[in-house]
Amino acid sequence: MWERRPIIFLLLATAAILVGTIVTMVLPFAWVNTEKDRIEAVAPYDALQLAGRDVYIREGCNNCHTQTVRPLVAEVIRYGPYSKSGEFRYDRPHLWGSRRTGPDLARIGGKYPDSWHYHHLEDPRSMVPGSNMPAYQFLETRTVDPAFTRKKMDVLGFPYTDEEIAALDGKTEMDALVAYLQKLGADIGWREHAQVQVIGELVNPYAPDPDVLSEGARLYADNCAQCHGVALDGDLGPELTGARDIGEAELYRDLWNGIPDGGMPSFSTLGQKKIWKIVTFLMSQEP
């Protein structure tokens, strides 16, 4: 019937599209970043972090890495608490992304020490075996422009001091990018609260038989050797040749929860069995 009245049909279709657009696009933008959504702990980017954010955008990092954790169990377990609108209060534009060739970075801040990021950006495969991420060592040869950063902060309305701008002198784009990565998700202080208290006695279910030791050695090489050394002699992290003195239960807790104030991430996503196999391998090594 409506096909015979094209003008009315066109008006009704337009009205339906407008209603859908308002409900799905206009209203959500009006609702986010209201006073009730804001997170007081989230602070504007400082001068170095803002310069690093521009490097991140320029190099296309957001084409491979998202910056939003969806409220799905699998994502929360892997990346941390799901993202809230108040976290993006100072993101102009936001860098949520839609494609994950690499892992999400919304909670990367504080997961690793600065030195890990420098090594990773210089040679990604030295820290993450099998990574297809390109190297960004050239960023060490490019310096940040303090005057341009001051101009950007004025446009965005971000607070800064003359001392902060002066401190940019001699800083490289690598320094700036690392500072930006360490900012992501760090303001909300979720990592310390995410630790799980292990209740009861922890008992290693594995004996140090050859199969367990070989798999434990492989898991150590894939997940731990980049920071603690292939021979457990330490590098970015402490040496582990004295793992026996730490004890199985404490090693398990450290691997499960990580050590936030020491720059060690949680490896709980490996699961209990793999963590116990790494512990078994470490305990088998002679000091």
> What pLDDT is stored for residue 1 in this prediction?
61
Domain boundary among 164, 191, 218: 191
DSSP string covering 168-232: TTT-BHHHHHHHHHHHTTTTTTHHHHT--PPPS---------HHHHHHHHHHHHHHTHHHH-TTS
Judge if 71 and 20 occupy the same domain.
Answer: no
Q: Is residue 59 part of a domain?
A: yes
- List the end-to-end C-alpha distance of the chain, in Å, as a whole number: 86
Task: Say how many domains are in the chain.
Answer: 3
Cα Rg, the chain, nearest whole Å: 24
135 and 177, same domain (yes or no): yes
Residue 66's pLDDT is: 96
d(CA 143, CA 132): 26
Residues 222 and 132 in one domain: no
Q: Is residue 202 part of a domain?
A: no
DSSP label at residue 133: P
Structure confidence at residue 285 as a pLDDT band (50, 70, 90) = confident
pLDDT value, residue 184: 96
Q: Does a structural domain hold residue 40?
A: no
Same domain flag for 71 and 181: yes
Residue 41 maps to a domain: no
* pLDDT tens per residue, range 242-273: 888 888 889 998 898 888 777 788 898 899 99
What is the domain range of residue 19? 2-31
Q: Does residue 193 have a pLDDT over 70?
A: no
Contact indicator for 45, 53 with CB cutoff of 8 Å: yes
**Same domain membership, residue 121 and residue 93:** yes
> Could you give the CA distance from residue 195 to residue 89 in angstroms, rounded to a whole number?
27
Answer whether 251's CB lies under 8 Å from 275's CB: no
pLDDT for residue 198: 60
In a domain, 183, yes or no: yes
Question: Is the domain of 153 the same as that of 272?
Answer: no
Characterize 165-197 residue by residue with b for buried, 16 or more Cβ atoms within 10 angstroms of its Cβ, and e for exposed: beebeebbbbbbbbbbbbbbbbbbeebeebeee
- What CATH number should be reported for the domain holding residue 247? 1.10.760.10
136 lies in the same domain as 241: no
114 against 199, higher pLDDT: 114
| Residues 141, 54 share a domain | yes
Tokens at 36, concatenated: 């009730």
Query: Is 60 exceeded by the pLDDT of residue 199?
Result: no
| pLDDT one-digit tens code per residue, 44-62 | 999 999 999 999 999 999 9
189 band by pLDDT with thresholds 50, 70 and 90: confident
Q: DSSP letter string over 33-71?
A: TSTTT--TT-----HHHHHHHHHHHHTTGGGT------S
Tokens of 32: 């986010």
**Residue at 267 is within a domain:** yes
Q: What is the identity of the amino acid at 158?
A: F
DSSP state of 82: P
Question: Domain check: are 173 and 64 in the same one?
Answer: yes
**How many separate helices (H) and strands (E) can be counted in the chain?**
15, 0
Residues 163, 91 share a domain? yes
**pLDDT tens profile 80-99:** 899 998 899 899 889 999 88
Is the model's pLDDT at 148 over the cut of 90? yes
Last residue of one domain, picked from the residues 136, 163, 191:
191
User: Same domain for 52 and 177?
Assistant: yes
Inside any domain, residue 162:
yes
Whether residue 248 is found in the same domain as residue 112? no
pTM, two decimal places: 0.82
The domain boundary, picked from 156, 191, 226, lies at 191
Report yes or no on 196 lying in a domain.
Answer: no
Instruction: Determine the average pLDDT of the residues in 192-203.
Output: 66
What pLDDT shows up at residue 78? Answer: 86
Q: Is the pLDDT reported for residue 35 higher than 80? A: no
Q: 267 near 257, Cβ under 8 Å? A: no
How far apart CA 148 and CA 144 sit, in angstroms, is 8
**The pLDDT value given to residue 89:** 87
